[in-house]
Amino acid sequence: MYMKHQKTSWGKVADWYDELLEKDSDSYQQKVILPNVLRMLAIKNEQLVLDIACGQGFFAREFYKKGAKVIGVDIAPELIDIARKKSPKQIQFHISSADNLSFLKAGTVDAITAILAIQNIENFAGVFKECGRVLGKSGRLLIVLNHPAFRIPEKTSWGFDADKKIQYRRIDGYLSESRHKIQMHPSDKSSEATISFHRPLQLYIKALAKQGFAVAHLEEWISHKTSQSGPRAKAEDAARKEIPLFLCLEAIKTNV
Task: Confirm whether 165 is domain-assigned.
Answer: no
Task: Confirm whether 176 is domain-assigned.
Answer: no
User: CB count, 10 Å around CB of 76?
Assistant: 25
Whether the predicted pLDDT of 85 surpasses 80: yes
Question: How far is residue 56 from each of residues 66, 77, 126, 187, 246, measured CA to CA in Å?
Answer: 18, 10, 23, 25, 21
* Mean pLDDT estimate for the chain: 90
User: CB count, 10 Å around CB of 128?
Assistant: 26
CB 140 within 8 A of CB 111: yes
Look at residue 164 and give its three-state secondary structure: coil
Q: Are strands 69-74 and 92-95 parallel, antiparallel or unpaired?
A: parallel
Q: Indicate the pLDDT class of residue 12, thresholds 50, 70 and 90.
A: low
Task: Confirm whether 163 is domain-assigned.
Answer: no
Q: What is the pLDDT of residues 134-176, one digit of tens each?
A: 999 999 999 999 999 999 999 999 999 999 999 999 999 999 9
Look at residue 165 and give its three-state secondary structure: coil
Q: Tell which residue, 84, 63, 65, 69, has the closest CA to residue 18.
A: 84
Whether the predicted pLDDT of 106 surpasses 50: yes
pLDDT at site 10: 52
Q: Taking the C-alpha atoms of 179, 147, 163 and 225 in order, what is their torsion angle to the nearest 10 degrees? A: -120
What is the DSSP track for 102-155?
TTS-TT-EEEEEEES-GGG-S-HHHHHHHHHHHEEEEEEEEEEEE-TTT--TTT
Q: How many domains does the chain have?
A: 1
Alpha carbon distance 206, 200 (integer Å): 11
First-to-last CA distance in the chain?
28
What is the DSSP track for 8-58?
-TTGGGHHHHHHHHHH-TTSHIIIIIHHHHHHHH-PPTT-EEEEET-TTSH
pLDDT at site 182: 79
Q: What's the predicted TM-score (pTM) here?
A: 0.90
The burial of 73, by beta-carbon neighbours within 10 Å (0-12 exposed, 13-18 middle, 19 or more buried), is given as buried
Q: Indicate the pLDDT class of residue 91, thresholds 50, 70 and 90.
A: very high
User: CB count, 10 Å around CB of 239?
Assistant: 20
Q: What is the pLDDT of residues 181-227, one digit of tens each?
A: 877 655 455 557 788 999 999 999 999 999 999 999 999 999 999 99
Task: Confirm whether 171 is domain-assigned.
Answer: no
Task: Confirm whether 114 is domain-assigned.
Answer: yes
Task: Confirm whether 223 is domain-assigned.
Answer: yes
The burial of 201, by beta-carbon neighbours within 10 Å (0-12 exposed, 13-18 middle, 19 or more buried), is given as middle
**Ramachandran category for residue 248: left, alpha or beta (phi over 0 → left; psi -120 to 50 → alpha):** beta
Task: Confirm whether 152 is domain-assigned.
Answer: no
Supply the CATH number for residue 130's domain. 3.40.50.150
Task: Confirm whether 185 is domain-assigned.
Answer: no
Domain that holds residue 102: 11-147+196-229+245-253
pLDDT at site 7: 45
Rounded mean pLDDT, 226-238: 95
